[in-house]
């Protein structure tokens, strides 16, 4: 939580008190008493634009080893890394779906198909058991060194006090030899250990058995064995890409994670948007409307208080009253809540707080929010402007969730319970800002100017085939 917004927090406290005492959807209009109305041209606060992004912001100055990049791309799209060989990293972070999956919540291990057409299957025939509880975030620009925290709750992060240099759910089990190159590589160690994302269930494979028993080290060992197996055609690629690999026996899963990180950092760097070019000196590249929107973003609309810095994120955690849909993380009396940052810190003050996402390419990467509750950029931005109104008037038809009766049955348990919605609203720290329709359009225009045109077509990042011979498409 930020400590620089004392007046704001006081206003929010007032909102929350009002809200807590009179909760009922109709009563929320009372909050209008403290809505901040932004005047047409005035900018209430001084505003500063970030410095332009450059090569130095990225690992290896933006030029990771090309052989590792190529190997990482194959691994990223290869279902060999999943217990049942039926899902790859790309299933949820695909080049054809803007490094996400186009869904509010992913359909994990056992599903079939890609993007919004992905089907959950039936449990009896190996389909998914429940939805993955959080939205699959985009992977743009995560090779920039300032991204030191991964996941919506930041549960993996750079921490020089740890033997590995990183704090993560694996604690001391995180390998140190060979070392993990960066936090992006640390992140890549985890999806393979999750039964619902990639590992599968206990009876289905040795990897599924190790994963359901919580034995992450064994999952990594079994996957390294697969990569060492000549039949999967990876050995030469690892030998060529890594100086410390001479024979198959030298391959560890850490090498795979480092290669995947090199690929993600290289392929999905996105810092040539009109906004970037504007910051680098091309003053003609932004439309008048986008410049007005930029002024709102960095001024009176207050966005940059959290969406700060070169990548529009302070990398900190805030409670923004995002609707909670899907199975949740097992928190709270309903078992369908997600306490967010509190799950990592144990601090009740962090309940319902989530990491501020970068807004680079955000116009491409819907659905939005940590559960993908909003299916349009306009609705997501409207939420940021008036979080509590938006929470209590949430339109459930916006959720992009492939249907199956048992899955549908839990999707809106939290949102249908006024007490639980109130809890999320009371924790909210975002203050309401009212824009005129034209100002809102200008703000949206500016957010579109954060899109790098090179990210509009990512087909080159999708390999036609992978070494294991497993199908790349479903």
Residues that bind ligand HEC (CB under 6 A): 81, 87, 89, 91-93, 106, 108, 132, 134, 136-137, 139, 142, 150-152, 184, 187-188, 191-192, 197-198, 260, 301-303, 305-307, 318, 320, 322, 354, 356-357, 359, 362, 365, 368-370, 380-381, 384-385, 429-430, 443
Under 8 Å CB-to-CB from 146, ≥6 apart: which residues? 57, 309, 310, 311, 315
Do 299 and 110 touch, CB atoms closer than 8 A? no
Taking the least distance from each CB to ligand HEC, the nearer of 229 and 378 is: 378
* Residue 36: φ, ψ to 5°: -95, 120
Q: How far is the CB of 110 from ligand HEC (least distance, A)?
A: 10
Q: How far is the CB of 366 from ligand HEC (least distance, A)?
A: 8
Chain-centroid distance of CA 289 in Å reads 29
CA distance 36 to 432: 6
Q: How far is the CB of 168 from ligand HEC (least distance, A)?
A: 12
Taking the least distance from each CB to ligand HEC, the nearer of 429 and 461 is: 429
Do 180 and 166 touch, CB atoms closer than 8 A? yes
Q: How far is the CB of 246 from ligand HEC (least distance, A)?
A: 25
Chain-centroid distance of CA 374 in Å reads 14
Taking the least distance from each CB to ligand HEC, the nearer of 384 and 392 is: 384
Taking the least distance from each CB to ligand HEC, the nearer of 22 and 269 is: 269
Q: Is the dihedral of CA 16, 19, 22, 23 positive or negative?
A: negative
Q: How far is the CB of 29 from ligand HEC (least distance, A)?
A: 20
Q: How far is the CB of 393 from ligand HEC (least distance, A)?
A: 17
Taking the least distance from each CB to ligand HEC, the nearer of 22 and 380 is: 380
- 71: which 2 tokens? 């190997």
Lateral strand order in the sheet of 156-158: 149-150, 156-158, 166-167
CA distance 197 to 330: 16
Taking the least distance from each CB to ligand HEC, the nearer of 362 and 421 is: 362
Residue-wise burial string across 189-213, b where 16 or more C-beta atoms lie within 10 A, e elsewhere: bbbbbbbbbbbbbeebbebbbbbbe
Do 106 and 92 touch, CB atoms closer than 8 A? yes
Q: How far is the CB of 320 from ligand HEC (least distance, A)?
A: 4
Taking the least distance from each CB to ligand HEC, the nearer of 137 and 208 is: 137
Q: How far is the CB of 296 from ligand HEC (least distance, A)?
A: 8
CA distance 325 to 292: 34
Taking the least distance from each CB to ligand HEC, the nearer of 114 and 184 is: 184
């Amino acid at each position: 939580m930020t400590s620089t917004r004392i007046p704001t927090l006081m206003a929010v406290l007032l909102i929350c008190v009002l809200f807590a005492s009179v909760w009922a959807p109709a009563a929320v209009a009372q909050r209008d008493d403290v809505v901040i109305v932004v005047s047409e041209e005035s900018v209430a606060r001084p505003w500063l634009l970030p410095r332009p992004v450059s090569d130095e912001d990225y690992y290896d100055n933006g030029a990771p080893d090309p052989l590792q990049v190529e190997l990482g791309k194959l691994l990223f799209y290869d279902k060999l890394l999943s217990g049942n060989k039926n899902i790859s990293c790309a299933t949820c972070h695909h080049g054809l779906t803007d490094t996400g999956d186009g869904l509010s919540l992913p359909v994990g291990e056992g599903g079939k198909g890609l993007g919004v057409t992905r089907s959950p299957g039936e449990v009896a025939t190996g389909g998914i058991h429940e939805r993955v509880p959080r939205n699959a975030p985009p992977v743009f620009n995560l090779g920039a060194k300032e991204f030191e925290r991964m996941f919506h709750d930041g549960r993996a992060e750079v921490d020089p006090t740890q033997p590995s240099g990183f704090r993560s759910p694996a604690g001391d089990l995180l390998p140190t030899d060979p070392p993990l190159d960066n936090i992006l590589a640390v992140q890549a160690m985890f999806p393979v250990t999750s039964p619902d994302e990639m590992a599968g269930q206990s009876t289905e494979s040795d990897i599924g058995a190790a994963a359901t028993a919580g034995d992450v080290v064994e999952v990594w060992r079994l996957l390294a064995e697969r990569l060492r197996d000549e039949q999967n055609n990876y050995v030469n690629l690892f030998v060529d890409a890594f100086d410390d690999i001479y024979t198959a026996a030298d391959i560890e899963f850490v090498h795979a994670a480092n290669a995947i990180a090199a690929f993600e950092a290289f392929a999905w760097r996105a810092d040539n948007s009109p906004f970037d070019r504007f910051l680098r000196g091309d003053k003609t590249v932004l439309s008048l409307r986008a410049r007005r929107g930029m002024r709102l973003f960095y001024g009176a609309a207050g966005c940059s208080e959290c969406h700060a810095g070169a990548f529009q994120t302070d990398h900190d955690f805030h409670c923004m009253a995002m609707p909670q849909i899907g199975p949740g993380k097992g928190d709270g009396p309903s078992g369908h809540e997600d306490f967010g940052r509190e799950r990592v810190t144990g601090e009740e003050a962090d309940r319902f707080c989530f990491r501020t996402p970068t807004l680079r390419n955000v116009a491409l990467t819907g659905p939005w929010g940590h559960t993908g509750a909003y299916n349009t950029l306009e609705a997501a931005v409207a939420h940021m402007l008036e979080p509590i109104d938006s929470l209590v008037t949430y339109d459930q038809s916006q959720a992009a969730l492939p249907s199956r009766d048992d899955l549908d049955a839990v999707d809106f348990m939290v949102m249908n319970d006024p007490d639980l919605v109130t809890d999320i609203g009371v924790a909210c720290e975002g203050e309401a800002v009212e824009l005129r329709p034209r100002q809102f359009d200008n703000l949206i225009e500016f957010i579109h100017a954060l899109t790098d045109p090179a990210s509009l077509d990512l087909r080159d990042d999708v390999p036609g085939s992978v070494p294991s011979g497993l199908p790349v498409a479903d």
